[in-house]
Amino acid sequence: MKARVTVTLKNGVLDPQGKAIEGALKSLGVVGVAGVRQGKVFDIEVEGDDRGKAEAALKQAAEKLLANLVVENYRVDIV
Amino acid sequence: MKSAIILFPGSNREGDVFRALRQASGREPAIVWHADTDLPSGTDLVVLPGGFSYGDYLRCGAIAGRANIMDAVRAHAARGGLTLGICNGFQILCESGLLPGVLMRNRDLRFVCKMQRLKVERADTAFTRAYGSGQIVKVAIAHGEGNYTADDETLRRIEGEGRVAFRYCDAAGQVGGAANPNGSMNDIAGIYSDKLNVLGLMPHPENLIDPLVGGIDGTGMFASLAAA
């Protein structure tokens, strides 16, 4: 089973990297970009085909390691 | 004082800490591998040195913060044992939950490597007794992710409980403004745990222990620890 965990910064947390990317897009002449927030994507291959078990394992993975819940949120998608 | 330095893959300041502790205490610290599960018996002080543990993969200190040895470090800290995290060691302490908050990418996105003045916020802890309260000290900084960030409630609690150890200042002792090298909230360079036995700081006092390299303001911390 394939899954994707997406980790993003919480609202209100300053994101200097996102700001720099936003600035670079503007200097490249890409118009219409109002703001950029950068994050991380983890593509994970899960053993077995029990969706509930997979969701529990991925939640544990995200909360124990993949995201720092002080400043980040995460989302689990099983694809 | 019996001390132990934890070595992670990618640590690179363990030799500097080793010298500083040996100079201050006259005893050689133990070097403990991250995959070990126990500290040497009778360890009084654990130091997490600077460097780039696990290549800063995922987030700085994230993987090291979950290493085997960290359970022993957590137990040591819970017993009131002295624990010091410098630079990457501070990031590891935050990631492991031993200190609140997180070290984010520097405000200006640059790795900052220079001499930096700090204000010693309090001189009544095991780490700072050899300093004076409000003393301005010169130490080195070298980091890309030192921008201390915490939510409002955590920040209020840290400030209210007197847990800020050091703040960034200029040579005249003026805190913050252009003297803040990385955008840290409240110009925080280091914080204590609630019982003041765990200290994490971004600057490197272990690099300022010899006049040959530009100053000895770092000796105060190791002298304090040796006398603790």
Residue of chain B whose Cα is closest to the Cα of A12 = B151
Q: Is B105 on the interface with A (CB under 8 A)?
A: yes
Say which CATH number the domain at A56 has.
3.30.1280.10
Residue B26 CA to residue B34 CA, distance in Å, equals 25
CB contact under 8 A, A68 and B59: yes
Residue B109 DSSP code: S
Residue of chain A whose Cα is closest to the Cα of B100 = A70
From B209, B135, B215, select the one nearest B175 (Cα to Cα). Answer: B135
Residue B60 has a pLDDT of 96
* Number of domain units in chain B: 1
Asked if residue B1 lies in contact with residue B225, where contact means CB atoms within 8 angstroms, the answer is: yes
Nearest to B109 among A20, A64, A68 (CB): A20
Nearest to A68 among B95, B105, B183 (CB): B95
Whole-complex ipTM: 0.84
Enumerate the β-bridge partners of residue A72.
A9
Residue A21 CA to residue B72 CA, distance in Å, equals 41
Spatial neighbors of A57 by CB under 8 A, at least 6 apart, are A46
Q: What is the pLDDT along chain B (228 residues), one digit of tens a residue?
A: 999 999 999 999 999 999 999 999 999 999 999 999 999 999 999 999 999 999 999 999 999 999 999 999 999 999 999 999 999 999 999 999 999 999 999 999 999 999 999 999 999 999 999 999 999 999 999 999 999 999 999 999 999 999 999 999 999 999 999 999 999 999 999 999 999 999 999 999 999 999 999 999 999 999 999 998
Q: Is B226 on the interface with A (CB under 8 A)?
A: no
Say which CATH number the domain at B60 has.
3.40.50.880
From B106, B103, B126, B124, select the one nearest B114 (Cα to Cα). Answer: B106
From B130, B60, B67, B65, select the one nearest B97 (Cα to Cα). Answer: B65
CB contact under 8 A, B101 and A70: yes
Query: How many Å is the maximal CA-CA distance in chain A?
Result: 47
Residue B49 CA to residue B156 CA, distance in Å, equals 28
Residue B32 CA to residue B69 CA, distance in Å, equals 8
Range of the domain at B175: 3-227
CB contact under 8 A, A16 and B106: yes
Range of the domain at A15: 2-78
Q: Is the pLDDT reported for residue A12 higher than 90? A: no
Q: Is B110 on the interface with A (CB under 8 A)?
A: no
CB interface of A with B, residues 13-72, below 8 Å: 13-14, 16-17, 20, 64-66, 68, 70-71
Spatial neighbors of B28 by CB under 8 A, at least 6 apart, are B18, B21, B22
* Number of domain units in chain A: 1
Active centre residues of B (catalytic): 87, 204, 206
Q: Closest Cα of chain A to B45: distance in Å?
A: 27
Best of A15, A68, A73 to mutate (most B CBs within 10 Å, chain B): A68
From B204, B190, B166, select the one nearest B12 (Cα to Cα). Answer: B204
Q: What is the DSSP string of B45-93?
A: EEEE--B-GGGG-SSTTTTGGGSTHHHHHHHHHHTT-EEEEETHHHHHH
